[in-house]
Amino acid sequence: MTISGDSDFRVVIIGGGFGGLYAALSMRRLPIKITLIDRRNFHLFQPLLYQVATGALSPADVASPLRSVLKRQKNTRVVMGEVIDIDISGGKVIMSDGQIEYDVLIVAPGSHHHYFGNDNWEPLAPGLKTIEDATEIRRRILLAFEKAERERDPQIIKELLTFVVVGGGPTGVELAGALGEIAHRALKEDFRRINPEQAGIFLVEGNDRILIAYPPSLSDKAQKALEKKFGVTVLTKTQVIGVEPNRVKIKNDRTENFIPARTVLWAAGVKSSHLGKIITEKTGAALDKAGRVKVNNDLTVPGYPEIFVIGDLANIDDGHGQPLPALAPVAMQEGRYLAKLLGNRLKELPTKPFHFHNHGTMATIGRNSAVADLGWIRFGGYLGWLAWLFIHLMYIVEYENRLLVLVQWAWNYFTGNRTARLITGGSPFPLKKPKIENDATPPEEKERVKD
């Protein structure tokens, strides 16, 4: 397909995540009309969302208003809308409240969490994909400590002070490490009856090691750091087979067991956007097991040179028979590649197939501790942590957010305090049945008044 130099050439991008936003930003000099559609009015810096969920950062620190990021990019407009269908023969994106025509369509809707057929677990074990997820998780973690402080029944206190993170990928490791920091540093002196340091934190992973996408030596380093520095109990080769309000059922080889716990966080799986199914039905493109669209090596849908799929929804071979992982760097490079490809099409030039340049992967465990695999070098500990901090700061889109994140990280580092520790949304009451609370009250009195 050839693009004329017509400035009315319409490129529609679905999704303002790493794929969609970097595609739009990279196309700033192309003589085209870009429409970026997102359900939300902001780009979310997902790699730091767990820090919102654990009270270290505020939602706005990891979210950049899309209009603000793109305000001076005159060839681009932002539409806040929800895409419900794609009219491929008509060249139109159908939103819940409107339609937008395209000449080229870039589909980058991201993914959401997946409970492997156990969707009823979701209310008990929230995942971490949106700002609302993060403030809900923050609320549950903090409320568990508040409730434990008020509780007298030792069994219930134990359940309240036990946290289970399901899934040992980077998000699970980061959440577990941050829970360790909350219990052992941030809340250490905050309570009078409970000792937050007695909190139990479990990280449950089905594979034989956490961070399965990393080299085994790094998985090992990460597990040791979680256990020794952050007080996390790592359970590998263990599957979650049930989530109940006050316990998690797990299976290890042939033994079944329960962890008594009232706070469960889900970091185990992602499900592709429903747009994958729509594209497959209308184009005949293949869908993989995870619901991703198998795209050509130029990221087009086979047979449809005007439709591109990038980011979490795209299945493209990594050169070793495996699909590229659902990571921000992959989506960003795909977005930039499309800018180059469309620029070439405008000049009627060919473009080489997409190739992902893997600059390495890293995961942080907590304060002074991270693991990194840059391909040519692997390292962990303090150096890994500094590298992690630096790289994440550099990738935050807005300068002001970089500054705010830096200030809060520095504060947190030196004081151990996490000040975004708000319990918001919904009423936390009633917590439980009435009881007497004054330590000065004699035990008989307590019993009497209780009845």
Instruction: Assign 79 to helix, strand or coil.
Output: strand
Nearer to a copy of itself, 65 or 360 (CB): 65
Residue by residue, DSSP assigns 186-243 as ITTTT-SSS-GGG-EEEEE-SSSSSSTTS-HHHHHHHHHHHHHHH-EEEE-SEEEEEE
Alpha-carbon torsion (253, 254, 257, 262), positive or negative: positive
Give the range of 59-67, 231-239, 259-267, 293-301 binding a copy of itself by CB under 8 A: 59-67
Give the range of 105-113, 120-128, 203-211, 418-426 binding a copy of itself by CB under 8 A: 418-426
Give the range of 66-74, 203-211, 279-287, 351-359 binding a copy of itself by CB under 8 A: 66-74
- 403, 413, 447, 448: which one binds a copy of itself (CB under 8 A): 403
Residue 132 tokens, joined: 């609302």
Note whether 132 binds a copy of itself by CB under 8 A.
Answer: yes
Site for a copy of itself in 86-105 (CB under 8 A): 92, 94-101
Nearer to a copy of itself, 67 or 112 (CB): 67
Residue 274 CB neighbours (<10 A): 15
Note whether 297 binds a copy of itself by CB under 8 A.
Answer: no
How many residues bind to a copy of itself according to rule CB under 8 A? Answer: 77
Site for a copy of itself in 314-343 (CB under 8 A): none
Note whether 411 binds a copy of itself by CB under 8 A.
Answer: yes
Please check whether residue 362 is in contact with residue 391, taking contact to mean a CB–CB distance below 8 angstroms: yes
- Shortest distance, CB of residue 40 to a copy of itself, whole angstroms? 7
Nearest to 210 by CA among 191, 227, 186, 198: 227
Please check whether residue 372 is in contact with residue 342, taking contact to mean a CB–CB distance below 8 angstroms: no
Residues labelled as active-site residues = 174
Note whether 402 binds a copy of itself by CB under 8 A.
Answer: no
Sequence-distant (≥ 6) Cβ neighbours of residue 68 within 8 angstroms:
398
Site for a copy of itself in 170-229 (CB under 8 A): 187, 189-192
- 271, 282, 340, 421: which one binds a copy of itself (CB under 8 A): 421
Nearer to a copy of itself, 67 or 224 (CB): 67
- Shortest distance, CB of residue 300 to a copy of itself, whole angstroms? 22
- Shortest distance, CB of residue 442 to a copy of itself, whole angstroms? 11
Burial class (CB in 10 A: 0-12, 13-18, 19+), 251: middle
Give the range of 154-162, 210-218, 340-348, 404-412 binding a copy of itself by CB under 8 A: 404-412
Q: How far is CA 283 from CA 57, 88, 292, 306, 308, in A?
A: 43, 8, 14, 12, 12
Angle between helices 381-395 and 399-415 in degrees, nearest 10:
150
Return the bridge partners of 36, or none.
Answer: 13, 78
- 68, 195, 246, 280: which one binds a copy of itself (CB under 8 A): 68
Nearer to a copy of itself, 97 or 253 (CB): 97
Report the 3 state secondary structure along 244-263.
Answer: ECCEEEEEECCEEEEEECCE
Nearer to a copy of itself, 146 or 298 (CB): 146
Q: Cα–chain-centroid distance for residue 84? A: 23
Site for a copy of itself in 340-359 (CB under 8 A): none
- 26, 64, 111, 369: which one binds a copy of itself (CB under 8 A): 64
- 8, 119, 253, 451: which one binds a copy of itself (CB under 8 A): 8
Residue by residue, DSSP assigns 44-77 as E-GGGHHHHHTTSS-GGGGEEEHHHHTTT-TTEE
Nearer to a copy of itself, 272 or 408 (CB): 408
Note whether 39 binds a copy of itself by CB under 8 A.
Answer: yes
Nearer to a copy of itself, 3 or 142 (CB): 142
